[in-house]
Amino acid sequence: MVAPIQIGPGINIGAGVNVGAGAAPITGGTITYAQMNPPVIPGNQLEDNTATVNNPIGFTINDGAKTGVAVPALTLENQTFFTNQGLGYFAASFGPGSTYSTATVHITYVGGGGLVFFVDPAIGYPATFNYPFVIA
Protein backbone atom coordinates (compact mmCIF):
# COMPACT_ATOMS: atom_id res chain seq x y z
CA MET A 1 0.00 0.00 0.00
CA VAL A 2 1.22 3.46 -0.90
CA ALA A 3 0.67 6.19 1.65
CA PRO A 4 -1.06 9.33 0.32
CA ILE A 5 1.07 12.42 -0.11
CA GLN A 6 -0.02 15.40 1.92
CA ILE A 7 0.84 18.96 0.99
CA GLY A 8 1.13 21.22 3.99
CA PRO A 9 2.34 24.65 5.04
CA GLY A 10 5.66 25.77 3.58
CA ILE A 11 5.34 23.76 0.34
CA ASN A 12 4.82 25.84 -2.79
CA ILE A 13 3.53 24.53 -6.08
CA GLY A 14 4.33 26.67 -9.12
CA ALA A 15 2.03 27.92 -11.86
CA GLY A 16 0.88 25.29 -14.33
CA VAL A 17 0.98 22.43 -11.81
CA ASN A 18 -2.35 20.66 -11.34
CA VAL A 19 -3.13 18.62 -8.27
CA GLY A 20 -5.88 16.04 -8.64
CA ALA A 21 -7.52 14.70 -11.76
CA GLY A 22 -5.89 17.25 -14.05
CA ALA A 23 -7.20 20.07 -16.18
CA ALA A 24 -10.92 20.58 -16.45
CA PRO A 25 -12.43 19.15 -19.64
CA ILE A 26 -13.55 21.45 -22.41
CA THR A 27 -17.18 22.30 -21.81
CA GLY A 28 -20.01 22.49 -24.31
CA GLY A 29 -19.93 25.42 -26.68
CA THR A 30 -16.19 25.16 -27.37
CA ILE A 31 -15.24 24.26 -30.93
CA THR A 32 -11.76 22.94 -31.61
CA TYR A 33 -9.86 22.11 -34.80
CA ALA A 34 -10.67 18.41 -34.41
CA GLN A 35 -14.41 19.13 -34.62
CA MET A 36 -13.90 20.74 -38.03
CA ASN A 37 -13.23 17.23 -39.46
CA PRO A 38 -9.74 18.19 -40.70
CA PRO A 39 -8.24 19.12 -42.95
CA VAL A 40 -10.26 22.33 -43.25
CA ILE A 41 -10.81 23.13 -46.93
CA PRO A 42 -12.11 26.40 -48.40
CA GLY A 43 -15.41 25.72 -50.15
CA ASN A 44 -15.97 22.67 -47.93
CA GLN A 45 -16.17 23.55 -44.24
CA LEU A 46 -15.78 27.22 -45.16
CA GLU A 47 -18.31 28.88 -47.45
CA ASP A 48 -15.60 31.28 -48.70
CA ASN A 49 -13.72 29.30 -51.35
CA THR A 50 -11.01 32.03 -51.29
CA ALA A 51 -10.39 31.57 -47.54
CA THR A 52 -6.83 31.09 -46.35
CA VAL A 53 -6.38 28.08 -44.07
CA ASN A 54 -3.68 27.74 -41.42
CA ASN A 55 -4.33 24.18 -40.16
CA PRO A 56 -4.48 23.45 -37.24
CA ILE A 57 -4.43 27.06 -35.94
CA GLY A 58 -7.38 28.66 -37.73
CA PHE A 59 -8.41 30.29 -41.00
CA THR A 60 -8.96 33.66 -42.64
CA ILE A 61 -12.26 34.50 -44.31
CA ASN A 62 -11.51 36.86 -47.19
CA ASP A 63 -15.00 37.36 -48.64
CA GLY A 64 -17.31 39.09 -46.16
CA ALA A 65 -20.33 37.94 -48.19
CA LYS A 66 -19.42 34.27 -47.54
CA THR A 67 -18.96 33.87 -43.80
CA GLY A 68 -20.49 30.40 -43.33
CA VAL A 69 -18.64 27.80 -41.29
CA ALA A 70 -19.64 24.13 -41.13
CA VAL A 71 -18.53 22.16 -38.07
CA PRO A 72 -19.30 18.57 -39.10
CA ALA A 73 -17.80 16.59 -36.22
CA LEU A 74 -19.08 17.97 -32.91
CA THR A 75 -18.27 16.06 -29.76
CA LEU A 76 -21.24 14.32 -28.13
CA GLU A 77 -21.15 16.95 -25.40
CA ASN A 78 -21.32 19.75 -27.99
CA GLN A 79 -24.09 18.01 -29.93
CA THR A 80 -26.18 18.10 -26.75
CA PHE A 81 -25.12 21.66 -25.89
CA PHE A 82 -25.94 23.14 -29.29
CA THR A 83 -29.17 21.15 -29.68
CA ASN A 84 -30.35 22.51 -26.33
CA GLN A 85 -29.16 26.03 -27.17
CA GLY A 86 -30.99 26.01 -30.48
CA LEU A 87 -30.74 28.25 -33.52
CA GLY A 88 -30.24 32.00 -33.46
CA TYR A 89 -27.71 34.73 -32.80
CA PHE A 90 -25.03 34.19 -30.16
CA ALA A 91 -21.82 35.77 -28.92
CA ALA A 92 -18.67 33.96 -29.96
CA SER A 93 -15.10 34.36 -28.79
CA PHE A 94 -12.10 33.28 -30.83
CA GLY A 95 -8.62 32.04 -29.95
CA PRO A 96 -5.40 34.01 -29.61
CA GLY A 97 -4.18 35.74 -32.76
CA SER A 98 -7.68 36.17 -34.21
CA THR A 99 -8.52 39.48 -35.88
CA TYR A 100 -11.45 39.91 -33.48
CA SER A 101 -11.65 38.43 -30.01
CA THR A 102 -15.46 38.38 -30.18
CA ALA A 103 -18.21 38.60 -32.79
CA THR A 104 -21.83 37.66 -33.24
CA VAL A 105 -22.54 34.38 -35.02
CA HIS A 106 -25.82 33.11 -36.43
CA ILE A 107 -26.33 29.38 -35.93
CA THR A 108 -28.63 28.23 -38.72
CA TYR A 109 -28.37 24.44 -38.46
CA VAL A 110 -27.72 21.89 -35.71
CA GLY A 111 -28.06 18.19 -36.50
CA GLY A 112 -26.39 15.11 -37.92
CA GLY A 113 -23.50 15.54 -35.50
CA GLY A 114 -22.64 19.04 -36.68
CA LEU A 115 -23.70 22.64 -36.98
CA VAL A 116 -23.50 25.57 -39.38
CA PHE A 117 -22.95 29.17 -38.34
CA PHE A 118 -22.32 32.47 -40.10
CA VAL A 119 -20.00 35.09 -38.66
CA ASP A 120 -21.41 38.64 -38.64
CA PRO A 121 -20.85 39.98 -42.17
CA ALA A 122 -20.73 43.57 -40.85
CA ILE A 123 -17.30 43.17 -39.23
CA GLY A 124 -14.35 43.94 -41.49
CA TYR A 125 -12.89 41.29 -43.79
CA PRO A 126 -10.48 39.68 -44.37
CA ALA A 127 -10.60 38.37 -40.81
CA THR A 128 -8.68 35.58 -39.12
CA PHE A 129 -10.44 33.20 -36.71
CA ASN A 130 -8.24 30.93 -34.60
CA TYR A 131 -9.32 27.95 -32.48
CA PRO A 132 -10.85 27.44 -30.05
CA PHE A 133 -14.18 29.13 -30.72
CA VAL A 134 -16.55 29.49 -27.78
CA ILE A 135 -20.20 30.15 -28.64
CA ALA A 136 -22.57 31.00 -25.81
* C-alpha to C-alpha distances, 51 to 57, 64, 88, 125, nearest whole angstrom: 14, 10, 24, 11
Strand partners, 60: 52, 128
Rounded distance, CA 112 to CA 94, Å?
24
Taking the C-alpha atoms of residue 62 and residue 64, their distance in angstroms, rounded to an integer, is 6
**pLDDT (tens digit, 9 = 90+) per residue, 70-120?**
999 999 999 999 999 999 999 999 999 999 999 999 999 999 999 999 999
Q: Give backbone dihedrals phi and psi of 106, rounded to 5 degrees, phi first.
A: -115, 110
Summarised one tens digit per residue, pLDDT across range 27-83 is 569 999 999 999 999 999 999 999 999 999 999 999 999 999 999 999 999 999 999
Residue boundaries of the structural domains of the chain: 30-135
